[in-house]
Amino acid sequence: MPEAKDTLLRLFSLLRLIPEYPRYSTAPTLHEKLRDRGFYVDLRTVQRDLQRLSGPFSLIDEEEGGRKQWSHAKNAPLDLRDMEPATALALYLAEGHLKNLLPQSVLDLLGPQFNKARNYLGELEQNHLGHWARSVRALPNGKALLPAEIDKDVWQETSAALLERKPLRIDYLSRSKAAAKQLLIHPAGLISRHSISYLIASVDGYDDLRQFALHRIHHAERLNEPARARPDFAVDTYIRQQLNTAAPIEQVELVADVAPQIAWLLGETPLSPEQSLEPLPNSDWQRLRAKVPDDKETLWWVFGLGENVHLHQPKRWIDVIKEKLTKMSGLYRQSMPHQSATITDAHSCQEAP
């Protein structure tokens, strides 16, 4: 009985390792992945398993370079992965959130799972989860730019290389040089920030980590050799200390008077774990104190509050805000000749009989 159970588990694992058409995997590749999952059988056994499974599970096989490779037929009628109601609901809500973060090409790859979740919930007409899915939406906080488009093949190769710890040969379009350059890189992490996804990697022959915007990678090829190991890399530390800055980000004390609606917001969703709000005498405003990163993102958040905040510290931020306000005031005070003429012409057209 244990032997039969092990065989059944191996067959299920093998089926889950076979990619969906148009991607293929060879028997040696599947054999290696099975060994990684603890199934120690020889290659010939895997080849026999594939032949046995090809009929009932709609597997496709083709010859390339003298070797047979395998794929699941597109929209295969049987999906071995079961779905729990809570999982279906989480996927349904995640789709609404991710569509503001991920490009359409990546969402298309996740489409079968999202469709499965919608179909599952659609069958639960009498279930409260199905009703909740029709009543709940995920909306971004603030204006979200449309995600930068990423080539499907680039996403497949980069994500697989990161998971399998393999190097990548890429053609990368540098924003500063406006020209594509071929690079060999060693992936360390992936960060999705607003509408852009960044692959964190080191160029072969160099130690420093760099950010590669995925939508600027025009071609990616995953290599079979191991990538350079980065045991010291921690994505959270990288985000906190090095993302978009040449030096580690310091913590500073933010002191500001905030309007009642901002104080209420920060009382419910704090700006920092180290935060305090104190009522100001003879006012409905409150004094905010918080330890925050000394970065542009936090500075722009404060600047975006406009007339609802009076900043006291850090002093450097006050100087930056004053400079920006002076430039904005000058921009709106001055009258540009071509703009004035355009506005005058527009009014003339509207008032003409």
What does the pLDDT read at residue 26? 93
C-alpha distance from residue 245 to each of 13, 75, 248, 331 (Å):
43, 45, 7, 29
For residue 142, is it within any domain? no
Whether residue 114 is contained in a domain is answered as yes
Q: Is residue 65 part of a domain?
A: yes
pLDDT tens string 29-57: 999 988 877 888 999 999 999 988 887 77
Q: What is the DSSP string of 298-310?
A: HHHHHHHTGGGEE
The answer as to whether 321 is a domain residue is yes
* Mean of all residue pLDDT scores within the chain: 80
Residues 105 and 185 in one domain: no
pLDDT grade for 125, boundaries at 50, 70 and 90: low
Q: What is the arithmetic mean of pLDDT over 242-249?
A: 59
Q: Are residues 156 and 235 in the same domain?
A: yes
Instruction: Give residue 160's pLDDT.
Output: 84
**Where is the domain boundary, 179, 207, 241?**
241
Beta bridge partners of 200: 189, 211
Distance, in Å, from the CA atom of 294 to the CA atom of 247, rounded to the nearest integer, reads 11
For residue 313, pLDDT beyond 60? yes
C-alpha to C-alpha distances, 208 to 163, 181, 246, 282, nearest whole angstrom: 20, 18, 11, 54
Whether residue 271 sits in one domain with residue 323: yes
- CATH number of the domain residue 300 falls in: 3.30.70.120
Identify whether 287 is part of a domain: yes
Of 130 and 220, the structure prediction assigns the larger pLDDT to: 220
Neighbours of 322 (CB within 10 A): 11
Which of 4, 96, 14, 73 has the alpha carbon at shortest distance from 48? 14
Nearest to 41 by CA among 28, 60, 54: 28
Name which of 28, 92, 26 is nearest 61 in CA terms: 26
The answer to whether residues 28 and 53 belong to one domain is yes
What is the residue whose two structure tokens read 């002076």? Answer: 326
Q: Are residues 291 and 258 in the same domain?
A: yes
Sheet with 59-64: list strands edge to edge. Answer: 25-26, 67-72, 59-64
Percent of the chain with pLDDT over 70: 76
Asked whether the beta carbons of 73 and 58 are under 8 A apart, the reply is yes
Query: What's 212's domain CATH number?
Result: 2.30.30.530
Alpha carbon distance 82, 120 (integer Å): 10
**Peptide bond between residue 167 and the one before it cis (omega within 30 degrees of 0):** no
pLDDT for residue 348: 38
For residue 117, give both structure tokens: 């979740």
Last residue in a domain, options 241, 264, 292: 241
Is residue 10 one of the residues assigned to a domain?
Answer: no
Per-residue pLDDT for 194 more than 50? Answer: yes
Distance CA 24, CA 31 (A): 14
Domain assignment present for 139: no
Select from 49, 72, 95 the last residue of a domain. Answer: 72
309 within 8 A of 257, measured Cβ to Cβ: yes
pLDDT for 123 equals: 58
Residues 232, 258 within the same domain: no
Task: Report pLDDT for 94.
Answer: 78
Is the pLDDT higher at 3 or at 73?
Answer: 73
Range of the domain at 92: 85-133
pLDDT band at 327 (very low <50, low <70, confident <90, very high): very high
Binned at pLDDT 50, 70 and 90, residue 5 comes out as low
pLDDT digits (tens, 9 = 90+) for 74-120: 766 555 544 566 677 777 777 776 765 666 667 777 888 888 777 76
Say if strands 217-222 and 251-258 run parallel, antiparallel, or are unpaired: unpaired
Please tell me whether residues 40 and 98 are part of one structural domain: no
Query: What SS3 state is found at 82?
Result: coil
Domain match, 265 and 317 both:
yes
In angstroms, the Cα distances linking 69 to 29, 157, 204 are 9, 18, 31
Please check the confidence at residue 124 and state whether its pLDDT lies above 80. Answer: no
27, two tokens: 């028997």
Q: Which residue has the higher pLDDT, 138 or 207?
A: 207
The pLDDT tens digits of the residues spanning 252-270 come to 999 999 999 999 999 988 9
Q: What is the CATH number of the domain that holds 59?
A: 1.10.10.10
Residues 6+ apart with CB under 8 A from 316: none
Residue 146 forms part of a structural domain: no
Count of domains for the chain:
4
Alpha helices in the chain (DSSP H): 2-17, 27-36, 43-54, 85-98, 104-122, 128-133, 152-164, 235-241, 260-268, 296-304, 315-333, 337-351
